Structure 1
Amino acid sequence: MNRINTLFSIRYPIIQAGMIWASGWRLASAVSNAGGLGLIGSGSMYPHVLKEHIKKCKQATDKPFGVNVPLLYPDIDKLMDIILEEKVPIVFTSAGNPKTWTPTLKAAGIKVVHVVSSSLFAEKSEAAGVDAIVAEGFEAGGHNGREETTSMVLIPAVAARVKIPVIAAGGIGSGRAMLAAFALGAEGVQVGSRFVATPEASSHINFKNAVVDAQEGDTMLSMKKLTPVRLIKNHFFDVVKAAEDSGADAAALKEILGRARAKTGMFEGNLSEGELEIGQVSALIHDIKPAAEIVSDIWEEFEAVRKQLTTY
């Protein structure tokens, strides 16, 4: 047991990321039932949809679960009202100022974790009163930091600057990677891309297959002038890259992005015109398997490699 196990009352310090168009109640409850911490990804949900997912998750598991809230999305106040009303025990916030909502959530008895991409923001998050930090490296999928700091550098940098527990994210999809993160100072890991390739993820099967088929170099950080995001290279990515190479500003990139681009790709399965958010670790994902098996596989490999290394 470590501080992350104790903080969340979970068996394994393995957190499933709250990814848009992937992390609904089925995935979150499956991970929580397997001994990890499942998160519902509210970034792709209207308030009434989030409420439905929370209620169904409560019915599907008696274990702790949480909600991830990207603070850059609209209707945050309405999402938070639902979270408070439904007495969600754990909230992970990202892409915004943790000072905005942490006091309100903590006053309601909710455990709060904030996702950061630099040690500076980790310190600010600790000062805001969060219970733990997710240090998310450049390898991660979805919205990312402009600094392009890799997990190998970010995790120890953050661990050295804060006293609260650090959860490592970015490039982690196996027990070996989890052990490496612990060696760097983390007490838990947040796993995203590996859980996309599960039957329980709400993503379209076309997207899941694209993740399984991805090779090294098939993803790249894009749209740094707007909101940095790691994408699988496809036709939409090529259009964005051409615009960026020609000097397009944030307004032009926003026009290219349009509306519902992520939904088009990840939820509706349009692999050409959709935004396909996934991490570099997709190159190491070769199959679609149940979430409970992934939790078990990660933990068993973590323990096996840890014991193996003690013989050196």
Structure 2
Amino acid sequence: MNRITQLFHIQYPIIQAGMIWASGWKLASAVSNAGGLGLIGAGSMYPDTLREHIRKCRQATDKPFGVNIPLLYPDINQLIDIVIEEKVPVVFTSAGNPKTWTPVLKAAGITVVHVVSSAFFAAKSEAAGVDAVVAEGFEAGGHNGREETTTMVLIPAVCEQVKIPVIAAGGIGSGKAMTAAFALGAEGVQIGSRFVATPEASSHQQFKQAILDAKEGDTMLTMKKLTPVRLLKNSFFQRVKEAEDIGADPESLKTLLGRARAKAGMFEGNMEEGELEIGQVSALIHTLKPAGEIVEDIWDEFNETIRRLNR
């Protein structure tokens, strides 16, 4: 037991990230049933869809689970109302200022965690009253910090800055990486990319295959003038890179991005024109595995690595 397992009432301090177009009720319930904390990714859901996923998740597991809410979501008040009405025990917030909604969620008895990319924002989050922070390094997939601080540097910096528990994220897909995160001061890990390569993830089979095929250097952080995002390289990525190389302004990049591009790539399987958000750790993912097996494998390898180091 540590502060993270106690905070969420879970067996293992392993959290599945709430990723858009991947983290529906099937994935969240599978991870929670295996002893970790599963998160439903609300960022790609209409309010009614979120309510449906929460209810299905509750039918599929009697263990705690949570919802990830990006604070930049246009109808955020509707999502907040739903998680309160449905009595979701845990909410992870990201991509925005936690000051506005943390007191509202806490007043409803919800445990609140905020995702940060710097020690400065970790301190701000602690001051806003969150129960824990996820410190997410530059290696992570999807939306990322402008500072480009790697997990290895970020975790000890955040641990020095705050007294609340720190969950490490970014580049973690194995028990060995989890051991390294704990050595740096983390008390839990949040894992995204590894859980996309599961039968339970709602993302498209072709996207899952692209992750298995990914090699070192196949992802890159881009669109820094808008919101920095790590993408798997494809035709769309190349066009963004070319635009950035000639100094495209934010408006031009917004036009190039268009609408529903992440859905087209990750959910509908358009491998050339879609936005394919995945982390650097994709280069180390070679098998499609059930989510429950991944939780067990990571936990076993974590313990075996500690034993090996002690020897």
Q: Partner residue of 2:141? A: 141
Distance 1:187 1:7 in 2: 11
Shift of 1:275: 0.1
Uncovered stretches (5+) of structure 2, i.e. residues with no partner: none
Q: Partner residue of 1:30? A: 30
Q: Partner residue of 2:118? A: 118
Deviations 1:44-80 (A, max 9, x none): 0000000000000000000000000011121111111
Q: Partner residue of 1:107? A: 107
Q: Partner residue of 1:280? A: 280
Shift of 1:2: 0.3
Deviations 1:133-172 (A, max 9, x none): 0000000000000000000000000001000000000000
Q: Partner residue of 2:55? A: 55
Distance 1:96 1:43 in 2: 13
Output the amino acid matched with 2:200: E
Q: Partner residue of 1:186? A: 186
Deviations 1:252-297 (A, max 9, x none): 1000000000000000000000000000000000010000000000
Deviations 1:22-48 (A, max 9, x none): 000000000000000000000000000
Q: Partner residue of 1:2? A: 2
Q: Partner residue of 2:197? A: 197
Distance 1:236 1:189 in 2: 31
Output the amino acid matched with 1:161: Q
Q: Partner residue of 1:264? A: 264
Q: Partner residue of 1:293? A: 293
Q: Secondary structure at the match of 2:176?
A: helix
Q: Secondary structure at the match of 1:167?
A: strand
Q: Secondary structure at the match of 1:230?
A: strand
Distance 1:210 1:116 in 2: 28
Q: Partner residue of 2:78? A: 78
TM-score under structure 1 length normalisation: 0.99
Distance 1:237 1:128 in 2: 36
Q: Secondary structure at the match of 2:135?
A: strand
For residues 143-222 of structure 1, the aligned pairs below 5 Å read: 143-222=143-222
Identical columns (%): 79
Q: Secondary structure at the match of 2:303?
A: helix
For residues 228-239 of structure 1, the aligned pairs below 5 Å read: 228-239=228-239
Q: Secondary structure at the match of 1:145?
A: coil
Distance 2:289 2:221 in 1: 27
Distance 2:182 2:4 in 1: 12
Q: Partner residue of 2:11? A: 11
Q: Partner residue of 2:255? A: 255
Distance 1:272 1:287 in 2: 22
Output the amino acid matched with 1:213: D
Output the amino acid matched with 1:280: Q
What is the CA RMSD across the aligned residues, in angstroms? 0.3
Deviations 1:103-150 (A, max 9, x none): 000000000000000000000000000000000000000000000000
Distance 2:249 2:63 in 1: 46
Distance 1:68 1:13 in 2: 17
Output the amino acid matched with 2:274: G
Q: Secondary structure at the match of 2:134?
A: strand
Distance 1:65 1:300 in 2: 22
Deviations 1:180-239 (A, max 9, x none): 000000000000000000000000000000001000000000100001000000000000
Distance 1:39 1:226 in 2: 26
Distance 1:190 1:170 in 2: 8
Distance 2:249 2:14 in 1: 39
Q: Partner residue of 2:130? A: 130
TM-score under structure 2 length normalisation: 1.00
Distance 1:73 1:244 in 2: 26
Distance 2:73 2:251 in 1: 17
Q: Secondary structure at the match of 2:270?
A: coil
Runs of 4+ aligned structure 1 residues displaced above 6 Å come to none
Shift of 1:12: 0.2
Q: Secondary structure at the match of 1:91?
A: strand
